[in-house]
Structure 1
Amino acid sequence: MQAKPHPCSESSDSCTPATTPQLILLCTALIMIAVGYGGVTSSSLAFGADQLKHFQNNASKIESYFSWSYATSSFSAIVGSVGLVYLQENYGWRIGYGVLVALVLFAVLTFFSGSVWYLRLNPTKNLVNGLFKVMVASYRNRNIKLFSGDTELEYHSKGSTLSHPSGKLRFLNKACIIQDPERDLNGEGTAVNPWKLCTVDQVEELKSLIKIMPIWITRIVMSLNTCQGSFAVLQATSLDRHIGSKFQLPAGSVSSFALVFIVAWIILYDRILLPLASRIRGKTVHFSTKSRMGCGVFISFLSMAAMATMEGIRRAVAINEGYENNPDGVLHMSILWVLPQYALMGFAEGLNAISQNEFYISELPKSMSSIASSLYMLSMAIASLLSSFLMTTINNLTNRGGKESWISSNINKGHYDYLHWVLAGLSITNFLFFLAFSKAYGPLKDEKFEAQGTAEDGKA
């Protein structure tokens, strides 16, 4: 059996459709890629952070680790979007995928070669199951009356690092209140029914997850801006993609501009700005996580405004040159015109994406490291789904009455500039929400520790 359909006939437009076994093979491969990628992305960042837990000045080490981890990923994406696209266009898909297989095999062997030096933490519980238990237990114990300053309540702290729950989201505290020790606890001091009585740590884990959700949502909205890959290809196809006299950038590689600026920003920030600031202040300096997240959200608005402006200019040039009905026509306009919009997008991602991952890892309990490192990719996945919904909605609203849709397949007749002004409006609204959520969140854990350290130094 052949793994792929027969090639299409050059003499006609007919193609042999894929058979059921061929489709099953393809879908199985895609599922395996998704599972493998999900497994790596959900644990690699947390695993790397675990290796740094015993270092002094941990916050600075973690910040640098996240920066260079993201820089490495971005550099790999540049190689993929330029080098592999070039191989596939000039030597075929078989060579392109063969190179990928070899690289993945090399990565696996490299990872396992260092296994003797890794710090490995053994899993102690099913975290997701514990979160559901807290929700169920707090609902089942909803009739318990809570009073502020109540010190007579007994909490289930067996096996917990905390003896009392925090005062925020107090309705969840009902999940860890012991009403009758003889009925609720067994001889070992653990809960008879863990779906009605949870530990203090379990309650605080759910509280931590709920607390970061508003800021996490701002990342979803920001990720909508990076889900416009098809537009980037359409726009690049209409521009002169020659860089120099010999090299022509593939249209599918135009997104690599943003990746280049991400890597450039990380090098500038980690190797120049931070050391310079530390030298000026005479101590190790790292800019606050929330400040970097907020700057990233605001710059994402600027990138959408720049993209809308650039597309308006490109569309006007296309119409003036007589290409309104010819979306395949190449304008007398260089691909370098798109550099400002991708520079802003790269800086926004470099600021926000890294600090978001750092925020999740540092703010959630250590037991939730895998969930923390999964939240960024989860926001990207949700943004992709929302982007499809947004595009469908805009298309349905703008093509009424026989009008040309804003997101027409003919980029010169459509109005992708209007689309990006909509995204710019969403982005500035998202920034305002971020400011409100950030203020409501209060100081981060690292900021609290620094404040305590400063107070102790002052007393000394």
Structure 2
Amino acid sequence: MIPKARPPPCDQSGQACKSTTTSQYMLLVFSFLLMSIGAGGIRPCSLAFGANQFDKGGSNPNKHTVLESFFAWYYTSSIVSVLIALTGIVYLQDRLGWKIGFGVPAILMFLSALFFFLASPFYIKPKVCSNVFASFIQVLVVACKNRKLRYPNQNSDYHHKNGSGPQVPTDKLRFLNKACIIKGPEDVKLNGGAANPWNLCTVEQVEELKALIRVVPLWSTGIMISINLSQSSFPLLQAQSMNRHLTKGFQIPAGSFGMFMMIALTIWVFLYDRVMLPLASKIKGRPVRLKPIVRMGIGIFISCISMVVSGIVEHVRRRRAINEGLLNNSHGLVEMSALWLVIPNSLNGIAEAFSAIGSTEFYYLELPKSMSSIASALLGLGMAVASLLASVILNAVDKYTKGEGTESWVSSNINKGHYEYYYWLLALLTACNLLYFVACCWQYGPSADVDITKRMMELSDDDDHLP
């Protein structure tokens, strides 16, 4: 049994307690800050760094699906780690106290860092020569400076790296091309580099910024799925009001139903990667894989279906609650199995598997190889934006559906509210998002049908930017 901590001694004015509390609060905030900095360094870079490790040189005919499998299992391992944190670590904190609950993750993180540094000599570590964000700013600044210049007639008037990349910028987002126009011989040094990078950029720099700008509309289509996935509080209220018993002596905790999404995601990735693709390849007699952009669209569609199903389940649950006389009793138990919630949760997991893994691979293949870390960070950025937009949508629905004598759709009384309408509103927004996705695909044009092996082997040739 862990002894309880004694409160700090206080003087009559209570200043000692106040000072101790402030110190503890500052220490807690500082620890959160360190965790945020650490996560910000690990999450965007670990995926790209891990993909670089597959570039061992030579040719292997079985490498054509290795990157897709790596993305899938990397994301799955992240989900499994969250699952362990929400079950095992929480159990330790609840049973053995906060010291053990925080101590175990600290020990595991120490071992992880130790193993990382011990294996460091065996890693493939591309050299870093410049900062890609500074490069973006340079392109914008130089393009503004040169906005009055005319486009040259000769390709030699564009500045590019010697012996690498395109020598002429593409016509898309053409106004940025003025950043790489050579105005005179004084702009270029004898070794071929720019005399002043704030007066002249390379074609490669311009194309990198273009690639990021072109990807942004398709990136924005993934925000809606994250909004749907962030609706965790409503399924919790639903589960609390439904029969959660598997047996007479055991019932599933209401907060544990979110695990079905993670379980479905993990199972689906395994079936897709180890069963469906090999079977389809065997039937076709050639390697079969869905392009990342196709999987992104499928994920949006399944997410829409998930919201529709969630609304149907809630509609049935609410009607039964009213029939059982529980309209004014939001804590009453409805004679309906909570296992019905497994269906929308599982659909959410499958949608996440298609969309998140597909979009990460899409960014990684479409963006230049020098921006691989940015590609892996875009998914996390979308989730952050989605969390903010989800609050905006929820507040708007609560404000405009509540009136005199009328309960809000998202009322605290789940039986008086209309959560099904809210789910169907999200389904409608997701359907509109799917149409927007199709329009973005049409505007984007053909996505790169890149050979995976070739793409990975390119990573070490020109990974010279620090995101």
TM-score (norm 2): 0.87
Q: Which residue of 1 aligns with 2:142?
A: 137
Write the deviation string for residues 114-139 of structure 1: whole angstroms up to 9, x where unpaired: 22321111212111010111111111
Matched residue SS, 1:333: strand
Number of residue pairs aligned between Structure 1 and Structure 2: 437
Name the counterpart of 2:160: 157
**Amino acid across the alignment from 1:22:** Q
Counterpart contact for 2:257–2:342, Cα < 8 Å: no
Match for residue 180 of structure 2 among 138, 156, 176 = 176
What secondary structure is seen at the aligned counterpart in 2 of 1:401? Answer: coil
**Are residues 153 and 402 of structure 1, via their aligned partners in 2, closer, same or farther at CA, if it must alter by over 3 Å?**
farther
Aligned to 1:277: 280
CA displacement at 1:229 relative to structure 2? 1.7
Q: 1:152 to 1:438 in 2, by over 3 A?
A: closer
| Residues 413 and 101 of structure 1, relative CA distance in 2, 3 Å threshold | farther
Match of 1:29 among 28, 31, 38: 31
Deviation of the 1:6 alpha carbon: 5.6
**Would you say the 8 A contact 1:165–1:173 is kept in 2?**
yes
**1:187-266 alignment runs, 5 A limit:** 187-266=190-269
TM-superposed deviation, 1:151: 2.9
In structure 2, C-alpha distance between the alignment counterparts of 1:64 and 1:449, rounded to whole Å:
11
Root-mean-square deviation (Å): 2.5
Letter paired with 1:438: C
Q: Which amino acid aligns with 1:51?
A: Q
Which residues in structure 2 correspond to 1:383-394 (within 5 Å)? Answer: 383-394=386-397
* Greater relative contact order (Cα < 8 A, sep 6+): 2
Q: C-alpha offsets along residues 54-88 of structure 1, whole Å, 9 cap, x if unaligned?
A: 46454411001011111111222222233334444
Amino acid of the residue matched to residue 175 of structure 1?
A
Q: Is the 8 A contact 2:72 2:357 kept in 1?
A: yes
CA deviations on 1:262-298 (whole Å, 9 max, x unpaired) are 0010011011011101111222222211111111110
One-letter amino acid of the counterpart of residue 156, structure 1: H
Task: Give secondary structure in 2 for the equivalent of 1:332.
Answer: strand
SS in 2 for 1:446: coil
The one-letter code of the counterpart of 2:234 is: F
Query: Matched residues in 2 for 1:110 and 1:331: separation?
Result: 51
CA contact (8 A) 2:139 2:176 kept: yes
Match of 1:326 among 316, 320, 329: 329
Partner Cα separation in structure 2 for residue 26 and residue 318 of structure 1: 43
What is the aligned partner in structure 1 of residue 443 from structure 2?
440
> Identity of paired residues, percent?
45
Q: Per the alignment, do residues 430 and 59 of structure 1 end up closer, same or farther by CA in structure 2, a change over 3 Å counting?
A: farther
Higher mean C-alpha deviation, range 262-271 or range 48-57: 48-57
Match of 2:372 in 1: 369
Alpha-carbon distance between aligned partners in 2 of 1:96 and 1:398, rounded to the nearest angstrom: 43
1:5 offset after TM fit, Å? 10
Residue in 2 that maps onto 1:292 = 295
- Residues 436 and 121 of structure 1, relative CA distance in 2, 3 Å threshold: same
Identify unmatched segments of 5+ residues in structure 2. Answer: 9-16, 454-467
Name the structure 2 match of 1:101: 106
Q: Does the residue aligned with 1:243 lie in a helix, a strand or coil? A: strand
Distance 2:375 2:53 in 1: 16
Tell me whether 1:407 sits opposite 2:424 in the alignment. Answer: no
- Aligned pair 1:74/2:79, yes or no? yes
Q: Equivalent residue of 1:324, what SS? A: coil
**Rounded Cα–Cα distance in structure 1 between residues aligned with 2:414 and 2:103:** 35
Q: Would the aligned equivalents of 2:64 and 2:452 in 1 still touch at CA under 8 Å?
A: no
Letter in 2 for 1:212: V
Structure 1 counterpart SS, 2:75: helix
* Between 414-423 and 156-165, the greater mean CA deviation after superposition: 156-165
SS in 1 for 2:82: helix
- Partners of 1:299 and 1:344 within 8 A in 2: yes
CA separation of 1:261 and 1:5: change in aligned 2, threshold 3 A: farther
TM-aligned CA distance change 1:392 to 1:112, over 3 Å = same
Distance verdict in 2 for CA 1:28–1:4, change over 3 Å = farther
Q: Tell me, in whole angstroms, the C-alpha distance in 1 between the residues paired with 2:394 and 2:132.
A: 36
Question: Residue 89 of structure 2 corresponds to which residue in structure 1?
Answer: 84
The CA deviation at 1:89 is: 4.2
Unaligned stretches of 5+ in structure 1? 8-15, 451-460
Shift of 1:429: 0.7
Equivalent residue number for residue 382 of structure 1: 385
Moved more, 411-420 or 216-225: 411-420
- Does the CA contact (< 8 Å) of 1:85 and 1:253 recur in 2? no
Under a length normalisation based on structure 1, what TM-score does the superposition of the two structures give?
0.88
Match of 1:11 in 2: none
Q: Distance in 2 between matches of 1:5 and 1:196?
A: 65
What is the rounded CA distance, in whole Å, between the counterparts of 1:220 and 1:317 in structure 2? 34
Query: Using the alignment, how far apart are the partners of 1:280 and 1:370 within structure 2?
Result: 36
**Residues 244 and 337 of structure 2 are in contact (CA less than 8 Å); yes or no, is this contact kept in structure 1?**
yes
Kept after mapping to 1: 8 A contact 2:321/2:415: yes
Distance 1:442 1:188, change over 3 A: same
* Aligned counterpart, 2:45: 43
2:169, 2:291 → 1: CA distance? Answer: 27
User: 2:129, 2:360 → 1: CA distance?
Assistant: 23
Partner letter of residue 300 of structure 1?
S
Select the residue among 43, 63, 67 that pairs with 2:68: 63
Partner Cα separation in structure 2 for residue 64 and residue 137 of structure 1: 41
Does the 8 Å CA contact 2:155/2:168 hold for their aligned counterparts? no
Q: State how far apart, in whole Å, the 1-side matches of 2:205 and 2:321 are.
A: 60
Name the CA distance, whole Å, in 1 between partners of 2:311 and 2:91. Answer: 29
**2:171 corresponds to which residue?**
167
Q: Which segment is superposed worse, 378-387 or 440-449?
A: 440-449
Give the Cα separation in 2 of the matches to 1:90 and 1:322: 39
